[in-house]
Amino acid sequence: MADARGREVAHAALLVTLHRSGLLAFPLLGRLLVEFTAPQLGQYTGLFAGTLEPAQGGIEIFVLTNANAGHRNLVEGQVRAPGHGHRGALPVKRTANFKERGRELQSMRILGLETSCDETAVAVYDGTAGLLAHEVYSQVDLHAAYGGVVPELASRDHLRKVLPLLRKVLAEGGGRGGIDGVAYTSGPGLVGALLVGAAVARSLAFAWGVPCTGVHHMEGHLLAPLLEDEPPEFPFVALLVSGGHTVLARVEGVGRYEILGASLDDAAGEAFDKTAKLLGLGYPGGPQLALLAERGRPDVFRFPRPLTDRPGLDFSFSGLKTAVVVALRGRDLDDQMRADAALAFEEAVVDTLVTKGRRALEATGAGTLVVAGGVGANRRLRARMRAMGERAGVRVVYPRVEFCTDNAAMIALLGHLRLSAGQRDDLAIRARARWPMTELAPPGA
């Protein structure tokens, strides 16, 4: 089968089993063909073969992923190329053959997939034309009833949403024939959720015969401001504030990060979420707490600015929620008081982040501060950090709000930066729950 540019393409089929979930799903050509519960991989090969029979004419590549083998193995990857005798893999014919087209690497067009937590996101980034298409599906409604992300539900929902989103984004982004490479978030995040994007991305790249790379979610956040019209120039200081991470880093270039400070306990977003829960707000807490704080009266409560009274660039936010509990103990909590507490909490976090941001600028002599990650969407933080930058004669840069929270535009962009510099992964599907940023290196290093 050939695409519009005459390039050989193949259909990809993939099989994903989600760790411990007992769910095995088989999305094929955009449709969920089979769903088994409690599968024992290896014993059901006859069943697979029967299921595949009607579609076999359309399948040129079959990729088998056994995620049930255990998390530890996933670091090294689980996928084998067809024909390597993997039990359960069907014989396939490989027709796709990646030919480097004459186009410069810099103008590569990259498909990006993000499924690390509770957003399914797909995007296409083109080195020449910029961002061509991006879509985010948020699972917020799914998890709201539980007051937080339920990993099993997240994985299953990614599985349901990823292929329809992919089809939409590919249609908007010039079709799959134009894709020169695929990037996916391979960590840190929920392993089951990561696996969905990783398996889809790796399988597609394999089927299309294009290079693929797994990328670091927080590096995506860090470089997201490069999606904007006036991107920051290296070197700069980055403050990464998300649900799982609070990091200050000096950024020399792609993959060249010196960690200046990090949270010793809760991340800033986590502190927002936990305090929001205390105040009776739903999930996700950060944006709801910020909304409530708008009605708060200043100076009713005052909470500590943790670790600002001593030198250093580390953070500690876990004590703040305790301070909120203590301040509200024994009081009749009405709406106004909850709003007052929300405002005081937000002030404490923002003050702390601004103080440490300013210190990092002073320590490095950098002229630019980038603020990224979900908490970077916070309006008070954006305004206060900008004001600090003006006073200090420093440029403060944010991605637009939709690229602060989880998205695939940043993943496609990062994929472009790495793939166009020659980075190539092997066939392994990589999903890592933990992945310290200190392990990151420049592309090709």
Q: Which residues bind ligand KG4 (CB under 6 A)?
A: 117, 221, 242-244, 269, 272-273, 284-287, 290, 373-375, 377-378, 405-406
CB of 404 to ligand KG4, least distance (A): 7
Distances from the Cα of 339 to the Cα of 208, 276, 293, 345, 354, angstroms = 53, 11, 5, 10, 22
Closer residue to Zn ion (CB): 242 or 275:
242
Residue of closest CB approach to ligand KG4: 374
d(CA 244, CA 268): 8
Which of Zn ion, ligand KG4, none binds 15 (CB below 5-8 Å, type-dependent)?
A: none
- Residue 287 interacting entry, from Zn ion, ligand KG4, none, C-beta within 5 to 8 Å by type: ligand KG4
∠91-92-95 over CA atoms, to 5°?
Answer: 160
Q: What three-state secondary structure class fits 162?
A: helix
60 versus 266: smaller Cβ distance to ligand KG4 = 266
If DSSP codes are grouped into helix, strand and coil, which group holds residue 13?
strand
Point out which span in 189-197, 236-244, 276-284, 436-444 binds Zn ion (CB under 5 A).
236-244
- Give me the least distance between CB of 281 and ligand KG4, in Å please: 10
Q: Which does 244 bind (CB under 5 to 8 A by kind): Zn ion, ligand KG4, none?
A: ligand KG4
Pick between residue 140 and residue 392 the one whose CB is nearest to ligand KG4: 140
Give the shortest CB-56-to-ligand KG4 separation in angstroms: 40
User: CA triplet 242, 308, 331: central angle to 5 degrees?
Assistant: 80
Please state, in angstroms and rounded to a whole number, the distance separating the CA atoms of residues 50 and 66: 19
Q: Which does 359 bind (CB under 5 to 8 A by kind): Zn ion, ligand KG4, none?
A: none
CA 52 to chain centroid, in Å, comes to 32
Rounded to an integer, what distance in angstroms lies between the CA atom of residue 372 and that of residue 264?
19
Nearest distance from C-beta of residue 221 to ligand KG4, angstroms: 6
CA-CA distance, 291 to 295, in Å (whole number)?
8
Instruction: Pick what 375 binds: Zn ion, ligand KG4, none; C-beta below 5 to 8 Å, kind-dependent.
Output: ligand KG4
Q: Is 157 in the site for Zn ion (CB under 5 A)?
A: no
Smaller CB separation from ligand KG4, 340 or 406: 406
Binding footprint of Zn ion, residue count (CB under 5 A): 2
Kindly report the backbone phi and psi dihedral angles of residue 165, in degrees, each rounded to the nearest multiple of 5, phi listed first: -65, -40
Q: Tell me how far, at minimum, the Cβ of 373 lies from Zn ion, in Å.
A: 6
Angle between helices 268-278 and 318-328 (to 10 degrees): 20
Pairs from 153-156 (Cβ < 8 Å, separation ≥ 24)? 154/117, 154/118, 154/190, 154/192, 154/193, 155/18, 155/21, 155/23, 155/190, 155/192, 155/193, 155/195, 155/196, 156/18, 156/21, 156/23, 156/25
Site membership for Zn ion, residue 246 (CB under 5 A): no
286 binds, among Zn ion, ligand KG4, none (CB under 5 to 8 A by kind): ligand KG4
Task: Determine if 139 is a binding residue for Zn ion (CB under 5 A).
Answer: no
The one-letter amino acid at 188: P
Minimum distance, C-beta of residue 142 to ligand KG4, in the bound complex (Å): 16
C-beta closer to ligand KG4: residue 121 or 366:
121
Distance CA 242, CA 203 (A): 29
Q: Which of 279, 286, 281 is nearest to 333 (CA)?
A: 279
Nearest distance from C-beta of residue 377 to ligand KG4, angstroms: 4
Minimal distance, residue 357 CB to ligand KG4, in Å: 16
Which of 60, 126, 406, 425 binds Zn ion (CB under 5 A)? It is 406
Rounded CA-CA distance 182/273 in Å is 33
Residues that bind Zn ion (CB under 5 A): 242, 406
